Amino acid sequence: MNWLPEEASNLARNVDTVIWFVTIISLVFFFLITVVLVFFAIKYRRKSGEDETPYITGNHFLETLWTIVPSILVLVIFAYGFIVFKQMRTPPQEALEINVIGKQWLWQFQYDNGKTTINELYVQQNRPVKLIMRSEDVIHSFFVPAFRVKQDLLSGMYTYLWFTPTKVGVFDLYCAEYCGAAHSKMLGKVIVMSPEAYERWRKGEEREEQKGVASISPVQLGEQLYQQRGCNACHTIDGTPSVGPSWKGLFGHEVTLQDGTKVTADENYIRESILEPQAKLVKGYQPVMPSFKGILTDEEISAIIAYIKTLK
């Protein structure tokens, strides 16, 4: 029975030991208290209205005992938690630095080689990473349960966290600080790759995606981007409005803007909506869509348009 997720970072083991340590102490007290409670409740059940009870008002020895023992235990717990916390807050010198930007409601990662990814963080197995993080709007929180790390992102101030991924695989990334309507959609993945695969990805020569571009159709690429770039946080494809309007039946139809004017959703409109979302606001929606200028290439935008066209 292990309720904690898989341990996929160097820190996870230590955090888990702390949690287990506290759990064991807690269980001891919990069972002690429960057993005594139930035992007394049964043993000293009222037999008749005339039961005689002793006049006991206290016992200095016992009272001192159950003040001192928990006091010592909590001090130990504190110290242990602190030691591991210290480690969690002290990144090694050689850690690879990656910039993280959180905004409503997506994650953006900037690597030292100039690459930028959205909602997918690529890291190398057994190589310490240090994330230097900031927010562009409200507070978000970077949380990867499998790594046992969490840290808030603020605007106007950098925060950081570090870890060394120890297992190859794909791990869930959550936003853990409430940040508005699509807070629960601000999800991402951490992709831990073997050193070789990571090197390939870094150089960008044989990027899996690029290989893909050649072989898949624009519509398929658009669908992929819809997931990967986080459009799905705000846009549905089944017609239900979410944070943003649904894409279903969007293309070619008339859209009513904030100021009452109507435009037809053609290629240029959609392109503008992606690059400068605030230029033409759709009526009934908040101006919350982030700009994807510099994030999506022209080719990718075309692919998304192609994909939207298929959603009738």
Angle at 146 between CA 140 and CA 150, to 5 degrees: 30
Q: Which range touches other proteins (CB under 8 A), out of 55-63, 121-129, 218-226, 246-254? A: 55-63
Among 35, 65, 74, 279, binds ligand HEA (CB under 6 A): 74
Region 82-111 residues binding ligand HEC, contact defined as CB under 6 A: 104-106
**How far is it, in rounded angstroms, from Cα 41 to Cα 24?**
25
**How far is it, in rounded angstroms, from Cα 140 to Cα 153?**
5
DSSP secondary-structure letter at 185?
Answer: G
Q: Pick between residue 108 and residue 141 the one whose CB is nearest to other proteins.
A: 141
**Closest residue to bound ligand HEA by CB:** 70
Among 20, 29, 40, 158, binds ligand HEA (CB under 6 A): 29
Region 229-248 residues binding ligand HEC, contact defined as CB under 6 A: 229-231, 233-235, 243-245
Among 289, 303, 306, 311, binds ligand HEC (CB under 6 A): 289
C-alpha distances (whole Å) from 5 to each of 55, 65, 95, 172 are 52, 38, 25, 11
Binding mask 96-125 for ligand CUA (x = CB under 6 A): ------x--x--------------------
Contact partner at residue 80 from ligand HEC, ligand CUA, other proteins, none, CB < 5 to 8 Å by partner kind: other proteins
Query: For residue 147, is it left (φ>0), alpha (ψ between -120 and 50) or beta?
Result: alpha
283 in contact with other proteins (CB under 8 A): no
Region 74-113 residues binding other proteins, contact defined as CB under 8 A: 74-75, 77-78, 80-86, 88-89
Region 205-224 residues binding other proteins, contact defined as CB under 8 A: none
Binding residues for other proteins, rule CB under 8 A, total 89
Q: Which of 83, 92, 69 is nearest to 18 (CA)?
A: 83
Residue 196's Cβ-count burial label (10 Å; 0-12, 13-18, 19+) is exposed
Task: Sheet containing 129-135: give its strands across.
Answer: 116-118, 106-110, 96-103, 129-135, 159-163
Task: Sheet containing 149-153: give its strands across.
Answer: 120-124, 188-193, 169-175, 140-144, 149-153
Region 23-82 residues binding ligand CUA, contact defined as CB under 6 A: none
Binding residues for ligand HEA, rule CB under 6 A, total 6
User: What spatial distance separates the first Cα and last Cα of the chain, rounded to whole Å?
Assistant: 48
Q: Give the per-residue SS3 of 107-172.
A: EEEECCCCCEEECEEEEECCCCEEEEEEECCCCEEEEEHHHCEEEEEECCECEEEEECECCCEEEE
Contact partner at residue 274 from ligand HEA, other proteins, ligand HEC, none, CB < 5 to 8 Å by partner kind: ligand HEC
Contact partner at residue 99 from other proteins, ligand CUA, ligand HEA, none, CB < 5 to 8 Å by partner kind: none
Contact partner at residue 219 from ligand CUA, ligand HEA, ligand HEC, none, CB < 5 to 8 Å by partner kind: none
Q: What is the largest CA-CA distance in the chain?
A: 91
State the residues that interact with ligand HEC by CB under 6 A.
104-106, 182, 229-231, 233-235, 243-245, 250, 255, 265, 270, 273-274, 277, 281-282, 285-290, 292, 296, 304
